[in-house]
Chain A
């Protein structure tokens, strides 16, 4: 099914550069990658084409790979006879000003979902009507779900991780475990 979608996209929108990321086996899902610049056109085509329409945008997620980021769109078709779904991916290489077109005008569901991705990954969505943080407070700093995220020390005068309330025994426990392992290894060598 994904092959047909790739064919359809590359036939109608050659500039999208649609590539199929085939899964190794049936245990995992395949996905399609398109260029970030032509995402809106691809989504428009997916929604309005006659042979294989996708009427629902189920989910938008982001993934951070440190060098680049992915935004995954999961499209589905709620049709009793032809239920289908697939993952469409967009690669974003710019971690500072990463941006991609918003799909709100096509799928209003994208409104909250894109806000969540913006909140967690700091990816800007062009032409989004109301791009604010949604789960974190408006004045929170940093993008929590990035892999290199370090939380801020103070938030509005409140200490974020107060030392006197931290559970240090937990940390000490892990250190102790390492020491025990080292001692056991040394004992085994002798």
Chain B
């Protein structure tokens, strides 16, 4: 712009540069006093996540009917399900919303390292047993540790904490 020109241009440019910069400094300066810090000291203070937050998946295997709809809906194919027919003569259990469990679940593994947390699997679940929990701290030392077997007893034990009612 006014890189070449009269002395008047030079000083007017200098003046406007100083005034506009001071205006900006005044705005930032007001934050020095009276504005509360917004940082959260994370490990000590944890925020409660919103109700719909989509974090690690949890499958309540007691209510699962092995329909494999979640595995079909998954866009990255990270859910592995296997099931066998119930042995003859065994009593047919019901899920919490009254559907009969006709197949016995033998494997329900989710590779969390592949999961993209889109939530498509939870919406197709007919018994609403597959849900997003609010656990977000699950870093692992090996990538195999990201595979969660929901039939393992230690994972089933999460149920009391995650499943309401």
A–B contact with Cβ pairs below 8 Å: the answer is: yes
Check A176–B114 contact: CB distance below 8 A.
no
> B81 at the A/B interface (Cβ < 8 Å)?
yes
List the one stretch of A65-73, A140-148, A165-173 in contact with chain B.
Answer: A165-173
Q: Is the interface of B mostly helix, strand, loop or mixed?
A: strand
Check B111–A167 contact: CB distance below 8 A.
yes
Check A173–B81 contact: CB distance below 8 A.
yes
- Please name the residue on chain B nearest to A181 by beta carbon: B68
Q: Smallest Cβ distance from B106 to chain A, in angstroms?
A: 10
Check B85–A170 contact: CB distance below 8 A.
no
Check B109–A177 contact: CB distance below 8 A.
no
> A13 at the A/B interface (Cβ < 8 Å)?
no
A187 to B85, CA, bound (A): 10
- Please name the residue on chain B nearest to A170 by beta carbon: B77
Report the contact-size class of chain B (Cβ under 8 Å from the partner). 10 to 19
Over the window 102-134 of chain A, the binary record of Cβ atoms lying under 8 Å from chain B Cβ atoms (1 yes, 0 no) is: 000000000000000000000000000000000
> A180 at the A/B interface (Cβ < 8 Å)?
yes
A-B contact count (CB 8 A): 19
Which of A170, A176, A177, A183: most chain B CB closer than 10 A?
A170
A183 to B82, CA, bound (A): 13
> B83 at the A/B interface (Cβ < 8 Å)?
yes
Hey, which chain A residues are within 8 Å of B81, CB to CB? 173
Interface residues of A in 172-190 (CB under 8 A from B): 173, 176-177, 180, 183, 187
Check A176–B82 contact: CB distance below 8 A.
yes
Hey, which chain A residues are within 8 Å of B82, CB to CB? 173, 176
A176 to B83, CA, bound (A): 9
Q: Smallest Cβ distance from A186 to chain B, in angstroms?
A: 11
Over the window 151-168 of chain A, the binary record of Cβ atoms lying under 8 Å from chain B Cβ atoms (1 yes, 0 no) is: 000000000000000010
Known: A180-B83, A187-B85. Is A173-B114 also a contact (CB below 8 A)?
no
Q: Smallest Cβ distance from A19 to chain B, in angstroms?
A: 38
> B10 at the A/B interface (Cβ < 8 Å)?
no
Interface residues of B in 72-117 (CB under 8 A from A): 77, 80-83, 85, 109, 111, 114
A183 to B83, CA, bound (A): 12
Some 15 contacts from A to B, beta carbons below 8 A apart, are A167-B77, A167-B111, A167-B114, A169-B80, A169-B109, A170-B77, A170-B80, A173-B71, A173-B77, A173-B80, A173-B81, A176-B82, A177-B68, A177-B71, A183-B85
Question: Chain A: residues with CB nearer than 8 A to chain B?
Answer: 167, 169-170, 173, 176-177, 180, 183, 187
Given contacts A173-B80, A187-B85, 7 further A-B contacts (CB under 8 A): A167-B114, A169-B109, A169-B111, A170-B80, A173-B77, A176-B82, A177-B68
